[in-house]
Structure 1
């Protein structure tokens, strides 16, 4: 039976990785991949990769699909044998667009994360959490860790690598770093390199956490966590994830709990907040309850550094080796974090003629998550035709 942690030296044969073996589909598993050299120098001495999987890997090891999560996303793409819906529920499963009766689907937690993969909250060799000692990691580092994971799982090449937002950055990096192991690549609501504006929004979030009195330089695990800073970071981020149209139509200037607005201020017997304030507070509360502040910083800084052309020449030169990869590039038409123009720039730099598909949504950037039917239709038409 498959154990929750499989030693790096005892990878299972391809056919053994199945929802009928061990823990079942949609349940967290982990594999040790050993020491990992890092792009910026140094190394992590011992790395564990956490992942979930659905379906059965065939004997050739070539029916695998890698789905990459977004910034604060988890490995839980689909319900599977668990009781909790996944963040792309309805896209992955028996008879769905990505049919787990045909494909072996994997979603791995990013390096530096807090959902099982080695990150700042992981225990180092001295028995203490890494905390402030956790090194700077990049998108490229995480892809190299995922390549080690694929090796352990017996996956020779990916049928497709698919991701939205930060997941799209990782999908693109997979194609650039390992074009011989990626046959199809979907980059949704993402870009070739983080822009100055995206870095600026990210820096404000990182500083919100670091300036929390409880942050303690990143070594807060024996005390109170920096929840106020993490909550503020989430508020800043979430404003960029949703469009003005969606915010205005959903909340407008309405006050919470029947309050009235008089002379520019709220008058209410109890809660005196605008509805949009309450909404942002709710989003902050949800994240604080499930995410580690140091991981938020580590992954955000990795995304700030994202540039698929780094050390590879021009963008066209960096992507030249992907000529054998079939691409889907898609943008959310109302996205104000990753503008559709960035998707156009990426598509123009790819070998051949790659059109940019549009996901029609008033939501904004989060449309890549909320418009599951549209994303599924695009993938079905491109990669998963019957």
Structure 2
């Protein structure tokens, strides 16, 4: 099939983009990319904004849960008429990452023999994922993005877009991310991978159609989630208190233990363990400076207007790592989001993050807009903020003032042979 497809009642499209040459030298045949769109692509095809999700996210940035979206949008309030990503002005596209489990080709997808790839799925890099997204953009007839925006793992891809394909990105916003994986990040990922691969249900990745290593995935998520929040927030919220109705000294749980167990089970119900392994290993290998003379040399390749966002309490992707990215000549400012929530602050403090995105899109000095007041949000069954924002003041440290403006080079499509651009059927929602 070579056409764009979408299920009835779903927003999610899937589109074949061809065979993908990988950085390892292997080829991944018959790649399909899933994505969602909002707004309409204009006649000049220059109003597209690419939004890239984090590790266990997907293409469903905005909107309620649905047939292909087990969870509501992960950045609610960002996209729509009159919002920061105004659909009267922008065509917003959010792909599911290559290697994921929400429609794009990944370990649970059919391989050449028709069975799920499982253990045979090739090892990927961030550059491979960006090339797959570029193939998708080519098929949609988009050769230049007004902005590429992403947080955490999505920020890695946003940064790689600006370094690998500088002529195709006018503005770049890496949020709560790094230019290279740190020893600390890899160190925290190591027991997560061990938990999954050591689960008896893993079977070296060939567990389909069975349930797979659910317990291992739950433990991996518990470890990860502890790094996504700050120590201060966990202490303020839980301390050493017992889970209501339980006594730790008699075999019961602490409240924070119950909280982490909840998040582990919640993820295991909706995410594929092989994708978790694949994407975690991709993040471990992230290095924009690889074969480019190092990180600083790679950053000098960026021609997009670069706006970097960090979270002051982030202990996984520290502010210092964002500051290193912000040393790029193309950087027009560094935004420091004030939050008690740690790394998850980029999803929770939407008033501050959206204000920074709005400044970047309007070419204003970053940090000059007052944060938009987001409505008070729902909490999940564990009491976790659903990511719809807190009305906290934006940090006033204004590192803007650079007169840099992006030099947009002629776009060079990263096209797969034999697949023409898709010039209709997009932006209809």
Same fold per superposition (TM over 0.5): yes
Q: Which residue does 1:302 correspond to in 2?
A: 282
Q: Which residue does 1:273 correspond to in 2?
A: 253
**Normalization by structure 1: what TM-score?**
0.89
In 1, distance between residues paired with 2:52 and 2:180? 17
- How far residue 351 of structure 1 moved from its aligned partner, in angstroms, is 1.4
Unaligned 5+ residue runs, structure 2? 365-429
- How far residue 60 of structure 1 moved from its aligned partner, in angstroms, is 1.1
In 2, distance between residues paired with 1:73 and 1:80? 14
Which of 300, 317, 323 does residue 320 from structure 1 map onto?
300
Q: Which residue does 2:231 correspond to in 1?
A: 244
Q: Which residue does 1:361 correspond to in 2?
A: 339
Per-residue displacement from partner, 1:233-271 (whole Å, max 9, x unpaired)?
Answer: 0001001000011101111111112445xxxx534xxx8
- How far residue 321 of structure 1 moved from its aligned partner, in angstroms, is 2.3
In 2, distance between residues paired with 1:296 and 1:155? 29
Q: Identify if the C-alpha distance between structure 1 residues 307 and 277 changes in structure 2 by more than 3 Å, giving closer, same or farther.
A: same
The structure carrying a bigger helix percent of its residues is 1
Q: Identify if the C-alpha distance between structure 1 residues 86 and 26 changes in structure 2 by more than 3 Å, giving closer, same or farther.
A: farther
Residues 52 and 108 in structure 1, CA contact (< 8 A), matched pair in contact too: yes
In 2, distance between residues paired with 1:92 and 1:24? 22
Residues 331 and 343 in structure 1, CA contact (< 8 A), matched pair in contact too: yes
Alignment of 1:55-204 (within 5 A): 55-79=39-63, 85-204=72-191
Q: Identify if the C-alpha distance between structure 1 residues 257 and 122 changes in structure 2 by more than 3 Å, giving closer, same or farther.
A: same
Residues 151 and 175 in structure 2, CA contact (< 8 A), matched pair in contact too: yes
Residues 159 and 183 in structure 1, CA contact (< 8 A), matched pair in contact too: yes
Aligned residues: 361
In 1, distance between residues paired with 2:7 and 2:202? 36
Per-residue displacement from partner, 1:185-208 (whole Å, max 9, x unpaired)?
Answer: 001100100011111111211111
In 2, distance between residues paired with 1:127 and 1:81? 29
Q: Which residue does 2:348 correspond to in 1?
A: 370
Residues 54 and 154 in structure 2, CA contact (< 8 A), matched pair in contact too: yes
In 1, distance between residues paired with 2:360 and 2:151? 16
Residues 65 and 72 in structure 2, CA contact (< 8 A), matched pair in contact too: no
Unaligned 5+ residue runs, structure 1? 1-5, 13-21
Structure 2 counterpart SS, 1:92? coil
- How far residue 384 of structure 1 moved from its aligned partner, in angstroms, is 3.8
Structure 2 counterpart SS, 1:253? coil
Residues 148 and 169 in structure 2, CA contact (< 8 A), matched pair in contact too: yes
Which of 39, 52, 71 does residue 23 from structure 2 map onto?
39
- How far residue 226 of structure 1 moved from its aligned partner, in angstroms, is 0.4
Q: Which residue does 2:360 correspond to in 1?
A: 382
Structure 2 counterpart SS, 1:79? coil
Pair 1:311-2:295 in alignment: no
In 1, distance between residues paired with 2:7 and 2:47? 21
Residues 25 and 53 in structure 1, CA contact (< 8 A), matched pair in contact too: no
Which of 336, 339, 342 does residue 318 from structure 2 map onto?
339
- How far residue 355 of structure 1 moved from its aligned partner, in angstroms, is 3.0
The alignment's C-alpha RMSD in Å is 2.1
Residues 53 and 104 in structure 1, CA contact (< 8 A), matched pair in contact too: yes
Q: Which residue does 1:16 correspond to in 2?
A: none
In 2, distance between residues paired with 1:26 and 1:95? 24
Residues 40 and 91 in structure 2, CA contact (< 8 A), matched pair in contact too: yes
Q: Identify if the C-alpha distance between structure 1 residues 381 and 75 changes in structure 2 by more than 3 Å, giving closer, same or farther.
A: same
